[in-house]
Amino acid sequence: MANYYTDHPEIGFHLNHPEMKRVVDLREKDYADKDKYDYAPVDFEDAMENYRRVLEITGDVAANVIEPNSESVDLEGPHLENNRMIYASKTVENIEATRRAGLWGVSMPRRYGGLNLPNAVFSMLSEVISAADAGFQNIWSLQSCIDTLYEFGSEEQRQEFIPRVCEGAMMSMDLTEPDAGSDLQRVMLKATRDEENDCWRLNGVKRFITNGDSDIHLVLARSEEGTTDGRGLSMFIYDKRDGGVDVRHIEHKLGIHGSPTCELTYKNAKAQLCGNTRMGLIKYVMALMNGARLGIAAQSVGLSQEAYNEALSYANDRQQFGQKIVNFPAVYDMLSRMKAKLDAGRSLLYQTARYVDIYKCLEDIQRDRSLTAEEKQEMKKYQRLADAFTPVAKGMNSEYANQNAYDAVSVHGGSGFIMEYKSQRLMRDARIFSIYEGTTQLQVVAAIRYITNGTYLGIIKEMLEREVSEELRPLHSRVAAMVTLYEESIAHAKEAADQEMHDFLARRLYDMTAEIIMSLLILDDATRCPELFKKSAQVYVRMAEENVVGKAAYVRNFKAEDLADFRA
Amino acid sequence: MYNRSIMSLRIIVLAKQVPDTRNVGPDAMTPEGTVNRSTLPAIFNPEDMNALEQALRLKDEFPGSTVHVLTMGPARATDVIREGLFRGADGGYLLSDRAFAGADTLATSYALATAIRKIGIPDIVIGGRQAIDGDTAQVGPQVAQKLDLNQITYVNSIDEVKDGLITVTRHIDGGVEKVQAPLPILLTVNGDAAPCRPQNAKLVMKYKRATAPMERAEGMPYAEEYEKKPYLTVTQWTVADINGDYDQCGLAGSPTKVKAVQNIAFKAKESKTLAGSDEDINGLVQELLNEKIIG
């Protein structure tokens, strides 16, 4: 039987990355749960076996329930009935199957009913579900909002909400409004204190809320009257059972039809404050968004895989000019680049997830005991890497997913334009990836400081020191040459001391950063497992070189006064 | 006895491990015409999976109910019990003994019925309509007969269990019928009943090392766990354990003798192409009627 996990050994390769030992040891806190819960692992190998098992279950549900439902979900979509959102009928089946499989609240500690999965494993589940249906991945992966409630909520709030999510309660993050999209500082939804009932009341409108009729909402609202910026915003928990929030409209979208995008009206809705007032945007939503961004990176990788599979299978099937089209250089060039982007992007996703894991696990340990000096240093290092890598993993993978979906349509030729084929749906579904949770352009903004302060360069140089296998050495030298160009480009941009020029060139510097990092990651993977990654390493490094050399020339020859030719 | 206000049910699921004959490749048969088991993966008989789902739904509906999987086979047949545990069954029984081998439906139903008597007659015994390797559909009814239980075959869904009565929808030629009968009862379930739920992550983590003692080897990892966690040991019974009569078990108890196995290759005959015209379609219908293929 098809299985989205076991059919793709590349995922298992990343599960078995050497760094996982540290991740799992930290996550399981020396396997302290082993005598308290019958499903807790007793040691590292046991934990890894558990991860493999949960991935197999997810791969099975994805391939045998979610994927077969995906076309019908795309055609039916959700609808509005008496101010409530009703899922497409097959979405309900998907939710039921994932509940039965116990795939909710998976990142939460066992004491609340969770599986205590690290982010790296959560991202793998995400990827696998997205490959089956990217729109359903939205609904499912919004469970990761609970991480933010766990991090910043009170113990009472944890006990009230986390077990429900582990049982399959849906979540949403209600951030954007008609006038507050990318610029969340402009959020106006009003939160007022109701002293009599010892709660808060929310009034206003939220727009573009994914899964907006969920059971438990995290809501960004203005609690400080008279303020106009991010410092007046706080985060609230709204429980649908209390009522007060209606769905006014469901958006009609280009893709991810199964994922309901809602406009919500809050009418005196009862809510609880999560954490402290004024910290809503600047601290909690930033944490929420970082988690969500990694979720989109995983969603992107899943769709990239599906696009590649569709294209490869069509190219092997379709005959023209007396032979399979996969034999034509123009076609296999496309396919090889698709696979290379997929493999390199996936490696970046899991590297980022492991950084997040080490940092977040140490932070969690810190809630119980103080960290040693070394642990503190380790946490700081990985926090910085996680913050630096997340916008790159999200931005690049979302762009790659779009490119792969586009190429999948190209490989299909005329059939790619026909609605009966899946590739058109993948192309429509992918389009939002590089827009929501921060557009690619905003990922560049988040990344640029780490370009100029040398964070990426530091890790790139560290990675360059790693041994690669004999046959990959020529490629490794080419990457080293790219790093030189990269350093020159950064220096040139800095020298100009012109903010607008910095901003203008940022995307190119970001792309160069990402392509060099992914080149080094894929070389590392190909060294450890040539059977899976040797070809992709060959293809990816050449492709990266093609781009980095071009971009370096672009940056080198650019002067601040040239901007005049570009302004709209 | 069934007029309890809070009802919980004891359910035994009959399940068989079978070669996956649905995915037959070119080397599925040996040159001698027997099933080449090495090329066919062993799976949980599909209709037994449908039966397991019906049992688990009853457990969901009536908290406190128990579901146990009963199977007969070699050590590796414990897989079907594990599959049950991974989906919500409470335990299982493996009947394994050389003396059980070579059983036809009579000997199989004898062994199963004897084991059920040892376990204690439950409220519901439920199994698939038939196994995909033998296709006899005899074992369920024979078990019911030997235990003197009511039986309903071809069940599509269990609609209600109330006041000691069970109401089911069963498949009949050309439609379905609703049938009611008193408990205890044996049911056999069709493949078009609801598919079985997926494995559950927590249950897989809990039971992944559940084994029958005969599966365990010296020095296997985590062996110390079996002492601490009794739920990891699957009950394993021999003929003697169920006080069985050796003459009624296995080959000795099987009057059915296979005379020969023939490997039949279906060959396509000449084909006929029809246009979409009424004339062609009418002609085809008439031909099918004439040959009594339809009518």
Q: Is residue B193 predicted with pLDDT exceeding 70? A: yes
Asked if A509 and A449 count as a contact pair (C-beta separation under 8 A), the reply is no
Q: Are strands B150-162 and B42-44 parallel, antiparallel or unpaired?
A: unpaired
Asked if B158 and B168 count as a contact pair (C-beta separation under 8 A), the reply is yes
Q: If pLDDT is split at 50, 70 and 90, which confidence band does B31 have?
A: low
Q: Is residue B263 predicted with pLDDT exceeding 70? A: no
Q: Are A289 and A365 contained in the same domain? A: yes
| Residues A109-152 pLDDT 10s | 999 999 999 999 999 999 999 999 999 999 999 999 999 999 99
Question: Cα separation of A214 and A146, whole Å?
Answer: 13
Report chain A residues whose CB lies below 8 A from the CB of B46: none
Distances (CA, A) of B185 to A29, A55, A452, B47, B64: 50, 38, 75, 18, 19
| Nearest Cβ partner for A102 among B200, B221, B222 | B200
Q: If pLDDT is split at 50, 70 and 90, which confidence band does B67 have?
A: very high
Gap from A146 CA to chain B (nearest CA, Å): 19
The answer to whether the CB atoms of A49 and B208 lie below 8 A apart is: yes
Helices in A455-529 by DSSP H: which ranges? 455-464, 473-496, 499-528
Write out the H or E segment, with its range, that includes residue B186.
strand B185-189
Phi/psi-derived region of residue B71, left when phi > 0, alpha when psi is between -120 and 50, beta in every other case: beta
- Closest CA in chain A for residue B83: A57
The answer to whether the CB atoms of A38 and B231 lie below 8 A apart is: yes
Q: Are A298 and A424 contained in the same domain? A: yes
Report chain B residues whose CB lies below 8 A from the CB of A38: 206, 229, 231
Domain ranges of chain B: 10-259
Question: Cα separation of A300 and A440, whole Å?
Answer: 13
Q: If pLDDT is split at 50, 70 and 90, which confidence band does A560 have?
A: very high
Fold of B10-259: Rossmann fold (3.40.50)
Report chain A residues whose CB lies below 8 A from the CB of B197: 97, 100-101
Q: Are A54 and A143 contained in the same domain? A: yes
The answer to whether the CB atoms of A39 and B199 lie below 8 A apart is: no
Q: If pLDDT is split at 50, 70 and 90, which confidence band does B251 have?
A: confident
Torsion of CA B46, B48, B49, B53, to 10 degrees: 150
Phi, psi of B190 (to 5 degrees): -85, 160
CATH assignment at residue A266:
2.40.110.10
Report chain A residues whose CB lies below 8 A from the CB of B221: 45
Q: If pLDDT is split at 50, 70 and 90, which confidence band does B289 have?
A: confident
Burial group, residue A384, by CB count within 10 angstroms (0-12, 13-18, 19+): middle
Helices in A34-133 by DSSP H: which ranges? 44-61, 67-76, 89-100, 119-132
Residue B167 neighbours by CB under 8 Å, 6+ apart: B158, B159, B160, B161, B178, B179, B180
Question: Cα separation of A82 and A92, whole Å?
Answer: 19
Question: Cα separation of B113 and B126, whole Å?
Answer: 12
**End-of-domain residue from the set A279, A309, A326:** A279
The answer to whether the CB atoms of B201 and A106 lie below 8 A apart is: yes
| Nearest Cβ partner for A101 among B200, B205, B222 | B200
Domain with A16, as residue range(s), is: 9-166+282-434
Chain A: which residues have CB within 8 Å of chain B? 38-42, 45-46, 49-50, 53-54, 57, 60-61, 65, 97, 100-103, 106, 115
- Closest CA in chain B for residue A49: B205
Number of H helices, E strands in chain A: 18, 11
Question: Cα separation of B43 and B132, whole Å?
Answer: 10
Write out the H or E segment, with its range, that includes residue A553.
helix A530-556
Gap from B225 CA to chain A (nearest CA, Å): 10
Residue A439 neighbours by CB under 8 Å, 6+ apart: A182
Q: What is the greatest pairwise CA distance in chain A?
A: 80
Instruction: State the best of A36, A43, A44, A50 to mutate against chain B, taking most chain B CBs within 10 Å.
Output: A50
Distances (CA, A) of A334 to A73, A535, B92, B233: 30, 14, 52, 53
Report chain B residues whose CB lies below 8 A from the CB of A115: 201-202, 205
| Residues A57-115 pLDDT 10s | 999 999 999 999 999 999 999 999 999 999 999 999 999 999 999 999 999 999 999 99
Token pair of B30, please?
A: 């040996």
Q: Are A395 and A426 contained in the same domain? A: yes
Reduced to 3 states (helix: H, G, I; strand: E, B; else coil), residue B170 is strand
Question: Cα separation of A433 and A442, whole Å?
Answer: 13
Instruction: Note the pLDDT of residue B19.
Output: 85
Gap from A242 CA to chain B (nearest CA, Å): 27
Total residue length of chain A: 568
Instruction: Decide if A190 is inside a domain.
Output: yes
Q: Are A17 and A142 contained in the same domain? A: yes
Q: Are A88 and A30 contained in the same domain? A: yes
∠ CA A185-A172-A272, rounded to 5° = 75
Token pair of B130, please?
A: 């038939």
Instruction: Note the pLDDT of residue A357.
Output: 98
CATH assignment at residue A324:
1.20.140.10
DSSP conformational letter for A482: H
The number of folded domains in chain A is 3
Pick the closest to residue A513 from A563, A542, A551 (CA basis): A551
- Closest CA in chain B for residue A98: B198
Report chain A residues whose CB lies below 8 A from the CB of B231: 38
Q: If pLDDT is split at 50, 70 and 90, which confidence band does B295 have?
A: low
Gap from A173 CA to chain B (nearest CA, Å): 26
Top pLDDT among B18 and B14 is at B14
Mean pLDDT for the stretch of residues A176-193: 95
CATH assignment at residue A497:
1.20.120.470
Q: Are A210 and A326 contained in the same domain? A: no
Chain B: which residues have CB within 8 Å of chain A? 197-206, 208, 221-222, 225, 229, 231
Q: If pLDDT is split at 50, 70 and 90, which confidence band does A305 have?
A: very high
| Residues A309-322 pLDDT 10s | 999 999 999 999 99
Q: Are A272 and A322 contained in the same domain? A: no
Asked if A341 and A400 count as a contact pair (C-beta separation under 8 A), the reply is yes
The answer to whether the CB atoms of B205 and A101 lie below 8 A apart is: no
The mean of the pLDDT values for chain B is: 89
- Closest CA in chain B for residue A42: B222
Question: Cα separation of A500 and A503, whole Å?
Answer: 5
Share of chain A above pLDDT 70, in %: 100
- Closest CA in chain A for residue B198: A101
Instruction: State the best of A54, A112, A143 to mutate against chain B, taking most chain B CBs within 10 Å.
Output: A54
Instruction: Note the pLDDT of residue A42.
Output: 96
Share of chain B above pLDDT 90, in %: 65
Asked if A353 and A119 count as a contact pair (C-beta separation under 8 A), the reply is yes
Q: Are A293 and A267 contained in the same domain? A: no
Gap from B19 CA to chain A (nearest CA, Å): 14
User: What is chain A's Cα-based Rg?
Assistant: 23
Q: Are A160 and A176 contained in the same domain? A: no
Mean pLDDT for the stretch of residues A533-552: 98
Q: Are A54 and A85 contained in the same domain? A: yes
Token pair of A235, please?
A: 């985060």
Share of chain B above pLDDT 70, in %: 91
Report chain B residues whose CB lies below 8 A from the CB of A3: none
Instruction: Note the pLDDT of residue B1.
Output: 44
Instruction: State the best of A36, A42, A100 to mutate against chain B, taking most chain B CBs within 10 Å.
Output: A100
Question: Cα separation of A51 and A53, whole Å?
Answer: 5
